[in-house]
């Protein structure tokens, strides 16, 4: 397996890994066990990776992190939303 | 802010982001809302990033992903453990 292919597979796995969690949150509307600080840090970090990818004009960094950004933002927003709903 | 600094900050944020979730799982022993497929994909992907970092001899990729690998494996193992306990 070429080294580049390994990097591409690693990127696809880590980027797509948040999709099942986003799906689970949307389906179950249960976020009690999910860490809000985690998704604040993760969303902010991935956002910085997107800016970084733009600045160094690296399409791989840019695309990987845009794919990651979408589900992480969904998870963060829904986790906050369902947590507020539950407490009100 | 230099571009490199932005990349370092992004790396620190995304690597450390799993630590609060690992802490929450250890403390609460509740993992019902956590997606097992997510942490299977994430752990495998981060493991591939570690191999990739070794092969291209890039200390940044290696360190970032070792820091990420530890909490993700903890979350995966504990999520499986508490899920099995709950069902038995």
A8-66, pLDDT tens digit by residue? 899 899 999 999 999 999 999 999 999 999 999 999 999 999 999 999 998 888 988 99
Chain B residues in contact with A37 by the CB 8 A cut-off are 20
Question: Do A72 and A49 contact (CB within 8 A), yes or no?
Answer: no
Q: Inter-chain contact B24–A32, Cβ cutoff 8 Å?
A: no
∠ CA(B10), CA(B13), CA(B18), 5° rounding? Answer: 140
Confidence (pLDDT) at A68: 94
Chain B residues in contact with A17 by the CB 8 A cut-off are 38-39, 41-42, 45
Partner residue facing A38 (CB), from B9, B17, B41: B17
Q: For chain B, 88 residues long, give each residue's pLDDT as a single digit of tens.
A: 688 889 889 989 999 999 999 999 999 999 999 999 999 999 999 999 999 999 999 888 898 899 999 999 999 999 999 887 666 5
Q: Comparing A64 with A85, which gets the higher pLDDT?
A: A64
Chain A residues in contact with B51 by the CB 8 A cut-off are 6, 10
Q: Which residue segments constitute the domains of chain B, with CATH numbers given? A: 3-87 (1.20.1280.290)
Structure tokens at A12: 């696809």
Is residue A3 within 8 angstroms of chain B, CB to CB? yes
**Among A21, A24, A17, A11, which residue's Cα sits nearest to residue B41?**
A17
- Helix ranges (H only) for A1-88 are 3-16, 18-28, 36-55, 59-87
Q: Give the ipTM.
A: 0.86
Is residue A30 within 8 angstroms of chain B, CB to CB? yes
- The dihedral region occupied by B29, where left means phi > 0, alpha psi between -120 and 50, and beta the remainder, is left
Confidence (pLDDT) at B3: 85
Q: How far apart (Å, rounded) are the C-alpha atoms in residues A16 and A64? A: 9
């Amino acid at each position: 397996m070429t080294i580049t292919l390994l990097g591409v597979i690693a990127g696809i796995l880590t980027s797509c890994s948040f999709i099942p969690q986003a799906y689970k949150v949307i389906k179950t509307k249960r976020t009690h066990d999910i860490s809000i600080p985690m998704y604040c840090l993760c969303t902010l970090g991935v956002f910085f990776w997107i800016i970084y990818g733009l600045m160094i004009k690296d399409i791989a960094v840019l695309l990987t992190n845009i794919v990651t950004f979408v589900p992480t933002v969904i998870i963060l927003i829904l986790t906050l939303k369902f947590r507020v709903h539950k407490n009100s």
